[in-house]
Each structure stands twice: as C-alpha cells, then as structure tokens.
DNA sequence: CAATAAACTGAACGCTTGTTCATTTGCAAA
DNA sequence: TTTGCAAATGAACAAGCGTTCAGTTTATTG
C-alpha cells in the first residue's frame, strides 16, 4: 500500500502557496524566483514542482482560489431583499473580505498581465461575475426608485475601485477603527448612487 | 569645440524613456530587460547607460517626471474660488490628465515596490502633496457648509481611488464619450461628499 | 523487519540578466 | 582635411533564471 497520502505534502502544499503569495505581493511575480519561494518553504527549488506544473500556474492558482474564496464567502453572507440594505451589505462585505486578504488582492490586481491568455480570461470572467452582483443591486435599486444612477455599469466599476483602494492604505491599529471606516464608506457609496 | 550638444542624444534620450515606459506598463518593471528596451530604441543594451545610471533610476525618473507633469498641468488649470466648482474642476482635471497618460499612471501605481527606499519616499511625498490639494478643497467645502464629510482624509483617498480606477477600463471609442463619463464621475464625487 | 512509494535533494541544462569597457563610428568645428 | 569627442558597438562578466531528473531519504504499511 502507499504511504498515507501526502503526510508531508499536505503540510508543504499550503506552505508553498503562502510563501508564493506573500513574495509575489511584496516583490512582484517576475521579481520572485522559484528558489526564493523554496527557501521560504524550507525546501529545494526542484521540490516545488511536485506542487505546481510551473511558476505561471502557481500564480494562476493563487488568483483563482482567491476568486473562489470570494464567492464562497459572499454566499455565506446574509442577502437582504431591499436594495439599499443589499448595497450596504455589499459594501461591508467587500471591505471586510478584501482587508483580510490584502496580499491576494494585490496580486490579483497587479499580476494579471503575467497570466497566459486563457488563464487571464478565466480570472476576468470570475471578476466580472462578481461585478455583476453589485450591478444587479444597483439596477434593482434604480427600478425600485431608491437609487439615482445615470449608468449602472460605470457606477459599479467606480464603487469597486473606491472600495478596493482601501486595501492600499489601511493598516491595523491606524487612526480609525475598521467599523468607523466601514461606516464612512457605506455613506460615500450611498452618496455615489444618489441616496439622500 | 565640442559637437553641437547631443545631436543624437536629444533624439535617443526621449526614445529610451518612451520605450521603457511602454514596456514597463505592458510587462512590468522586473519582467522587462535592458536588452528589450534597447531593441525598441534601436540600439545596443550598453548604449542605454549613457542615459541612465541603472535600470532602477530609469524607473524612478519616469515616476518623478510623471508627478512633475501632474503638478505642472494642474497649475495651468483654472482654480475657481467656490469649493463645489473647485471639486468639479479637480474631478475633471484628474480624469483628463490621467487618461492621457495611462502607461505612466499604471507604472507609478504598480512599480512602487521596485523603488529604492529613498526613491520611494520621494514619489510618496509628491503623491501625498497631490492628495493634499483635494483634501484642502474638501475641508474648505466643509467649512463653507456645502459638503457633508465625516472624515476628509479618508474621503480624499476614496475619491482618488475611484477616479484613478477609470484608467484601468477606459478605452477610446467605447460605449460612452469621455465627456459623458466625466459628467457621471462629477456627479458621483458630489454624492460622495454629500452634495445634494 | 522488509518493502514500498512519496517527498525531497542536489547537480546540471541552456539561457537570460544588469552592467562594464575597450573600441569603432560619424559628425562638426577648426 | 584634420582633429576631437559624443554616441554607439559588441563582446565579455559573474550571477541568476526556470526546469528536469537520477538518486537519496524517510515514514508507513503489510
């Protein structure tokens, strides 16, 4: 019989992903070598190839599972029915989720150009599906007469850019607690969609 | 006497900068080699070192002159006195300037981590000076009772993130003309600062 | 204990990297 | 036409790159 499957592999695999994510976020995909990742894991470079077919796929896996985690977390979130409550919930969710995974957010936004065309298309598809969720909320709000929005598509992109920008400057233990910051953003998002 | 200064250098120098900017934006600083830049310019790699002490400085120069161009362009812009008009003018200016230099914006936001600490500090200083201009507008508006803002610092960052995000998706000849897009953003920014 | 297979090593592969520098090119002034 | 120098070449440097693979280690199974 085979050895209990992956007694070490199950330890090493996430280590590889963690190290790669942290290093890619810090220095950029192209600037990080497989040897650096290996050193962080405590292993020789060749051993990494038991966990990824190549460097490019390692990057893609990180991005894809970031998006998958995003949808999974979102599904676990309460979905109110009235548009304004849903918008607020989206804002809160987006901020909380993204702040918990700054490295993954950074890598997912910065390293798109290092993906092969097919891998890029896959990530782009997932991202626009997520954007679609916000857009649907906006459309519902407009239909219900609660939002005043001239163009839902553009408003969606503007809101997401505004919210995600938070990840570039937020530091734990900063001037304001996260709850207050979130409340500020909820209010700004409301303002941007014309809620008075 | 010396030859007319830089008869060729004056041609080559901007070519080097243009090529570097385009390639850095497209593939990332670390992924671009000096030989690639040289080929784009039509020169051997060694010749680049007449125009930059090293690769890192080439990146820094691009970022610094992007920021300098930003301040120069802003100074040439009309500065109304009432806060709301100034806010609208800032929005319009920011969009127009940044859309004309997508590559420089991209590089300036993506490649900060590839700067040496001193060079990073310099770019950060210039950036926060620019943010300060918007923040001043917001504070004036609050003082004048036209804006309803809970925290001017955070609102500043949120607005700039929202506006700059435009550069990642805008394409000339897209669904909407730039004037309409700008008008949409002017309205959203107004909403975010609580103008009714 | 012996057998087995997963996990990992360590060296090697061909290639590219940023940077340097002695040398050549080519134009403009004298 | 000669001279002088900026501009550019092209070869070289040591170092590092992603990836492969035969071989060694190691822990668990029968």
Residues A129-174 pLDDT 10s: 999 999 999 999 999 999 999 999 999 999 999 999 999 999 999 9
Domain co-membership, B39 together with B90: no
Domain co-membership, B35 together with B60: no
Residue B181: what pLDDT?
98
Residue B89: what pLDDT?
97
Task: Confirm whether B1 is domain-assigned.
Answer: no
Residues from chain A contacting residue B165 (CB–CB below 8 Å): 157-158, 160-162, 164-165
Domain co-membership, A34 together with A125: no
Task: Confirm whether A79 is domain-assigned.
Answer: yes
Residue B106's contacts (CB-CB under 8 Å, 6 or more residues apart) are B25, B167
Residue A4: what pLDDT?
40
**Which chain C nucleotides are covered by protein, judged by CB under 7 A?**
4-12, 16-22, 26-30
Of A residues 54-113, those with CB within 7 angstroms of nucleic strand D are 54-56
Task: Confirm whether A86 is domain-assigned.
Answer: yes
Residue B7: what pLDDT?
54
Residue A11: what pLDDT?
87
Compute the distance between CA of residue A79 and CA of residue A154 in angstroms, rounded to an integer: 23
Domain co-membership, A14 together with A61: no
Residue B196: what pLDDT?
73
Nearest CA to A60 among A7, A135, A121? A121
Residue A9: what pLDDT?
66
Compute the distance between CA of residue A104 and CA of residue B160 in angstroms, rounded to an integer: 22
Domain co-membership, B13 together with B105: no
Nearest to B154 among A29, A155, A184 (CB): A184
What CATH code is carried by the domain that includes residue A75?
Answer: 1.10.357.10
User: Percent of chain A beyond pLDDT 90?
Assistant: 91
**How many Å does it take to go from CA A87 to C1' D10?**
62
**How many Å does it take to go from CA A34 to C1' D22?**
21
Is residue A3 scored above 60 in pLDDT?
no
Task: Confirm whether B2 is domain-assigned.
Answer: no
Residue B86: what pLDDT?
97
Count of A–B CB contacts within 8 Å?
105
Output the CA torsion A171→A174→A180→A183 (10° steps). Answer: -30
Counting the structural domains of chain B, the total is 2
Do A164 and A189 meet the contact criterion of CB atoms below 8 Å apart?
A: no
Residue with tokens 């810090």: A26
Closest nucleotide C1' to the C-alpha of B5: D6
Domain co-membership, B69 together with B161: yes
Is residue A196 scored above 80 in pLDDT?
no
Domain co-membership, B47 together with B67: no
Task: Confirm whether A153 is domain-assigned.
Answer: yes
Dmax over CA atoms of chain B, in Å, equals 68
**Residue B42 in tokens:** 């039509």
Residues from chain A contacting residue B192 (CB–CB below 8 Å): 162, 188-189, 191-192
Nearest CA to A87 among A170, A147, A164, A130? A147
Task: Confirm whether B90 is domain-assigned.
Answer: yes
Task: Confirm whether A106 is domain-assigned.
Answer: yes
User: Percent of chain A beyond pLDDT 70?
Assistant: 95
How many helical (H) and strand (E) elements, i.e. helices and strands, does chain A have?
8, 0
Find, in chain A, the residue whose alpha carbon is nearest to that of B181.
Answer: A154
Domain co-membership, A111 together with A139: yes
Cα A26 to Cα A90, A111, A165, B24, distances in angstroms: 28, 12, 17, 18
Domain co-membership, A30 together with A102: no
Mean pLDDT on A34-51: 97
To the nearest whole Å, the CA of B25 is away from the closest chain A CA by 10
Helix (H) / strand (E) element for A140: namely helix A117-143
**How many Å does it take to go from CA A19 to C1' D23?**
28
What CATH code is carried by the domain that includes residue B29?
Answer: 1.10.10.60
- Domain interval for residue B69: 56-193
pLDDT averaged over 10-residue windows placed end to end, chain B, 196 residues: 50 96 97 98 97 97 97 91 97 98 96 94 97 98 98 98 97 96 98 93
Domain co-membership, A78 together with A121: yes
Is residue A5 scored above 70 in pLDDT?
no
Compute the distance between CA of residue A16 and CA of residue A54 in angstroms, rounded to an integer: 13
CB-hemisphere CA count at 13 Å for B190?
Answer: 20
H-assigned helices in B4-51: 9-27, 34-41
Domain co-membership, B141 together with B163: yes
Domain co-membership, B133 together with B151: yes
**Residue A112 in tokens:** 């798109």
Find, in chain B, the residue whose alpha carbon is nearest to that of A111.
Answer: B28
Residues from chain A contacting residue B194 (CB–CB below 8 Å): 187, 191
Task: Confirm whether B31 is domain-assigned.
Answer: yes
**Residue B15 in tokens:** 């070519």
């Amino acid at each position: 019989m085979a050895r209990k499957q992956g007694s070490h592999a199950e330890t090493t695999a996430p280590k590889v992903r963690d190290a790669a994510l942290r290093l890619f976020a810090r220095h950029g995909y192209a600037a990080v070598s497989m040897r650096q990742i290996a050193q962080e894991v405590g292993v020789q470079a060749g051993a990494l190839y038991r966990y990824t077919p190549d460097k490019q796929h390692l990057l893609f896996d990180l991005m894809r599972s970031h998006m998958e985690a995003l949808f999974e977390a979102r599904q676990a979130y309460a979905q109110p029915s009235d548009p304004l409550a849903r918008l607020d919930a989206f804002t809160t969710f987006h901020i909380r989720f993204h702040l918990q995974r700054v490295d993954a957010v950074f890598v997912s936004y910065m390293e798109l150009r290092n993906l092969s065309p097919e891998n890029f298309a896959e990530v782009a598809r997932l991202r626009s599906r997520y954007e679609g969720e916000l857009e649907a909320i906006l459309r519902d709000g407009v239909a219900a007469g609660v939002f005043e929005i001239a163009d839902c598509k553009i408003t969606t992109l503007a809101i997401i850019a505004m919210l995600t920008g938070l990840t570039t400057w937020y530091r734990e233990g900063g001037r304001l607690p996260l709850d207050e910051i979130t409340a500020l953003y909820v209010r700004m998002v409301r303002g941007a969609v014309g809620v008075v």
